[in-house]
A and B are shown apart, each in its own frame.
Chain A
Amino acid sequence: MNRAKIRQHVAFSVLGAVTLLIVAPILLVILYIVINGAGAISWEFLTAAPRQGMKAGGIFPAIVGTVLLVIGTMLFSLPLGVLAAVYLVEYASDDLLTRMVKLSVVNLSGIPSIVYGLFGFTVFVLLLHLGTSILAGSLTLAIMSLPVIITASKEALESVPFTYREISFSLGASRWQTVRYCVLPYAIPGILTGTVLSLSRAAGETAPILFTVAAFYLPRLPHSVFDQVMALPYHLYVISTQVPNIPIEISFATALVLVGLVFLMNLVSIILRAHFRKKRLW
């Protein structure tokens, strides 16, 4: 071996070691949570309300709260995000306004989640009088999720071959008919994948719901969208920092349920992607 080859060998080994140094903790973190949390997970833990100041019982209200927030987030952000992406890809001309929309998407994705929390509190909770409620929390999370949904939908729309549009136009279809029948159907897989991913992120967020919806301790289910709810990430924060002497297994089990929920959503998006990729026409 000459020197250049040896140097390459050394360099690639270092890069491999660096990668291992990153990957190993990822696996360890997950193993650690699973090993310590699995023992405390039972049917009761998943389906009962917390008791004795969260020291016993289950986390059912928190699971329901997080699921409701995810659904609420989707209801607001999916239509708005997809339409905005349709605007950017199919309608917008390359002018100053379009560039501003694009720049706004970038900046929206960069705004810290706690700032969304402040915004949601001052606008939805106070100004619109929604109070700390599922509605206020969902709206806050929806605005936060918008940039991811827009970016994913944009990529999905752009990946539909341009010839589809040309053929549709040549048959005399209007722009909207073209979008509706020749572009959107083929972009749906990509849009869904991106949406599920962004919702899984919303499910795990704590900062935006701190002041807009999350209840410290509310061992019952909500009656309407104007109710507060417990939420898994906030519950984990509360029991691991705010309340002393919580049995550690309960914290671990809560973390495991949260991670499990998020992974499940990711898995759905991966399966969707694989399923539709097989059916892809181009």
Chain B
Amino acid sequence: MPRKISEFVIELCIKLSGYAVIVFVFLVFLFLLRDSLSLFRHYPLRDFLFGKEWLPISDPPKFGVIPLLLGSIYVTIWAILICVPLGVGAAMFISEVAPKPLKHVLKSLVEILASIPSVVLGFLGIIWLGPVLRNVFGLATGMCGLAGSLLLAFMALPTIISISEDALAGVPRTYREAAFGLGATRWQTLWRIILPSASSGILAAVMLGVGRVVGETMVVMMVTGNAPVMPGSILKPLRTLTATIAGEMGETVGGSEHYFALFAVGLVLFAITFSINFIADLFLRKARK
């Protein structure tokens, strides 16, 4: 029976495609781990995890991940401080205040922002934002952590706005009706009833925004000044985990310690984003209940 056979084949393909997704995540992890372990055969794990110097081409080289990790954390914290209040505020406006036609326009604009390639924003950061920051703060160079944070905040907005908006819109109608029935104004309902009810979804939005900011590469490589030193101030040049990989990979010799060290940095990055997404998923699941 040829139909039975062809159906068996196609259903096998379907199942394998499903499992392939697990395999891909596993493979990404496995290959990062394999190449990272090659580093730790020659270079102590402790010096990598706790070392405060990243000097890959000095003799002997030092691969301390702390300055890069702190660079990522600094940039991320500032970006999140900037974009979470703005993003959640805009989501509240779009979901609860804006009349329908305006709502559609605003949502489309946010989608447009989501589609602008990061390298374009990085380019604008170099020619426009950097010089502006230099003049405003009187800096030696505008290529600093803050330039990265501002652009990353801008880029994380669509994620935060759309997921928060979903969370707000997902609060059951009956909650609103009950609040209005008790004489609450729309603002009181929004602030005291809807916002707290949507908090799990909004937390998920923030987590996913953090994930997006930590993993972004091109913008930070182009505008944060690329200085792999312990970051002292957000107004000074620094360097993130992502920018280190992107910037140094082209200069390494395949199979060298430096090469494997970059995979170890990638593994750190993978571990961070994996945990963040895991937590975000937990929040989202809680929100759906």
Contacts and interface: CB of A to CB of B under 8 A. Distances in A.
Contacts of B115: 197, 200-201, 204, 262-263, 266
Interface residues of B, number: 82
Interface string B203-234: 00000100100111110001000000000000
A81 B188 CA distance: 44
A255 interface: yes
Nearest to A14: B89
Interface stretch (A24-32, A46-54, A164-172, A221-229): A24-32
A146 B93 contact: no
A115 B28 contact: yes
A211 interface: yes
Interface stretch (B17-25, B48-56, B63-71): B17-25
Nearest to A205: B117
A83 B276 CA distance: 28
A172 B254 CA distance: 59
A258 to B, nearest CB: 6
Interface string B120-151: 11111011100000000000000000000000
B14 A87 contact: yes
Interface stretch (B39-47, B106-114, B172-180): B106-114
Given A83-B13, A146-B24, A88 B18 contact: yes
A107 B119 contact: no
A4 B190 CA distance: 13
A14 B88 CA distance: 12
Given A84-B21, A110-B276, A115 B269 contact: yes
Nearest to A82: B17
Interface range on chain A: under 10, 10 to 19, 20 to 34, or 35 or more?
35 or more
B250 to A, nearest CB: 7
B117 A262 contact: yes
Interface in A80-98: 80-81, 83-84, 86-88, 90-92, 97
Contacts of A259: 116-117, 120
A113 B118 CA distance: 11
Contact of A15 (B13, B97, B242, B249): B97
A281 interface: no
Contacts of A90: 14
Contacts of B92: 15
Of A88, A111, A176, A234, which is in contact with the most chain B CB atoms at under 10 Å from its CB? A111
Contacts of B18: 83-84, 87-88, 91-92, 101
B237 interface: no
Contact of B191 (A11, A206, A240): A11
A62 to B, nearest CB: 12
Given A14-B89, A114-B242, A240-B222, A122 B35 contact: yes
Select the residue from B18, B106, B112, B116 with max chain A CB neighbours within 10 A.
B18
The SS class assigned to the B binding surface is helix
Contacts of B266: 114-115, 118
B215 A110 contact: yes
B32 interface: yes
A19 B106 contact: yes
A29 B13 CA distance: 45
Contacts of A91: 11, 14-15, 18
A207 interface: yes
Contacts of A237: 119, 122-123, 218, 222
B22 A101 contact: yes
Contacts of A159: none
Closest 5 CB pairs of A and B: A204-B117, A112-B215, A87-B18, A110-B277, A83-B17
Interface of A: 4-5, 7-8, 11-12, 14-16, 18-19, 21-23, 25-27, 29-30, 32-33, 79-81, 83-84, 86-88, 90-92, 97, 100-101, 103-119, 121-123, 126, 143, 146, 150, 174-177, 197, 200-201, 203-207, 210-211, 233-234, 236-237, 240-241, 248, 251, 255, 258-259, 262-263, 266
Given A115-B266, A119-B28, 12 more contacts: A15-B97, A18-B86, A83-B14, A106-B280, A111-B25, A111-B215, A111-B274, A114-B215, A174-B7, A204-B116, A233-B119, A266-B115
